Amino acid sequence: MAARKVAGLVEAGARPVVISPELCPELCALERCATILRRPYRQGDLDDAFLVIAATDDKAINHEIAETCRRRDILINVVDRPELCTFTAPAVVRRGDLLIAIATGGRSPALARFLRETLESLIDPAYGELLAILGDLRGDIHSRVPRSEQRSVWRELLDGRLLARLRSDGEADARRLARHIVECHIPTAPEP
């Protein structure tokens, strides 16, 4: 869980500090993106912190970290202990620029995790590629397709054919299909 939290912070542009006497392989893999202190937590470790995530197996240490954060007005999330948190973090499914967040208000991280895992199996990386294609076409659709036709264009782009083409033939072929769908809805100029 700690590795997932650190990876999320790195994706958001943070440079996390990880304090732990032992690291799982996933955390070791993040060493180039985070500062790793291979030791137990100590007083003073939170002096420059803006946000803290406590993910230890030791309830007493988690409680101590939470109390220190509260006294210093530092945002704190203690995994699986919503009563110690000043914020909760959603479970996230990310596919390129597509982001789906699942929040339970800290009431059931297990349900959020279950839903995230379910959605990850349903929403494959092709959806991120689909979003990139749709984003690239959006300006043309709004500027070149008559307003009365725009809903039809979006419906066709999202009817499943484009996603299937992405999965079967790749992004270049899917982009050609998407461009064809849009161009079929662009009025041709009358001949002089």
Spell out the domain ranges in the chain: 2-89, 90-122, 126-183
**What phi, psi does 99 have (nearest 5°)?**
-130, 125
Q: Of 108, 115, 61, nearest to 80 (Cα)?
A: 108
State which fold the 2-89 domain adopts.
Rossmann fold (3.40.50)
> Exposed, middle or buried by CB within 10 Å (0-12, 13-18, 19+), for 49?
middle
> What is the average pLDDT across 152-173?
97
DSSP 37-76: E-S---TTTTTT-SEEEE--S-HHHHHHHHHHHHHHT-EE
Please state, as a whole number, how many other Cβ atoms lie within 10 Å of the Cβ of residue 6: 23
pLDDT number for residue 192: 60
pLDDT at 190: 63
Reported as a pLDDT band with limits 50, 70 and 90, residue 11 is confident
Averaged pLDDT, 13-36: 91
Domains 2-89 and 90-122 share a fold: no
Give yes or no for residue 191 having a pLDDT over 80: no
Superfamily of domain covering 90-122: Sirohaem synthase, central domain (3.30.160.110)
